[in-house]
Amino acid sequence: MNEELSIWSLFMEASLLVQMVMFLLLVVSVISWTIIIEKWRALKEARENSITFENRFWSGIDLVDLYKQISPDKETLSGIAAMFESGFGEYARLKNQGGMEPMDIVEGAQRSMRVAMMREFDRLESHLAFLATVGSTSPYVGLFGTVWGIMNSFRALGSAQHATLSMVAPGIAEALVATAMGLFAAIPAVIAYNRYSNDLERLENRLENFKDEFATLLQRQVHVK
């Protein structure tokens, strides 16, 4: 309890600029943790949904039946399921039109799947740039507050007739809190950004492999009437 009161008192006694720096870092840290938790949930859901759908896809189910089962929920689909729904829907539409070359039909389905995949990654990658920015800039913002606080402490020390360490210690302590807050905001953001970037890369490889395998299946079926 004393430690909490001490930190609070250091914040309250700091200069206005240092207080603004601390408050900014606190807000940034809260936003970062919100994004970290949300992205963890979204990536976990995308990974689990992809595994579940792949198991259904490779279970031997008829592709037309699978499409009919998931198409009513197309607005809520994600990952591989969204790619399949988009690609097979385009494949069926082009094939029913008639008068198109088989490979043109398959390429149209591939384009549709590529668009669905890019849409999915735009959703999953949103706000990751914010984590990267927080991780790279927060330590410097905190350091700016520290330098400003120490500068004010030594300015006050220079105008005193009897300079003692006890005169500057509170000011230096106030300033160092800004550095600590900068690190507190930056470290989780950097760790989360690196982890989620790796997860996204692995998910992208999974979706790319499925797209190629599905396109191969469509090439085999394109001549079936």
Over its C-alpha atoms, the chain yields an Rg (Å, rounded) of 28
Pair of tokens at residue 48: 């689990």
Q: How far is CA 3 from CA 26, 42, 146, 175, in A?
A: 18, 37, 20, 16
**DSSP 8-class letter at 9:** H
Give the residue extent of every domain in the chain: 18-221
Helix (H) or strand (E) holding 220, with range, is helix 165-221
**pLDDT digits 0-9 by tens, 1-58:** 344 445 556 656 666 777 788 889 889 999 999 999 999 999 998 888 888 888 888 8
**pLDDT digits 0-9 by tens, 81-104:** 888 888 888 888 888 887 778 888
**pLDDT digits 0-9 by tens, 49-66:** 888 888 888 888 888 888
**Alpha-carbon distance 35 to 70, whole Å?**
29
pTM of the model: 0.79
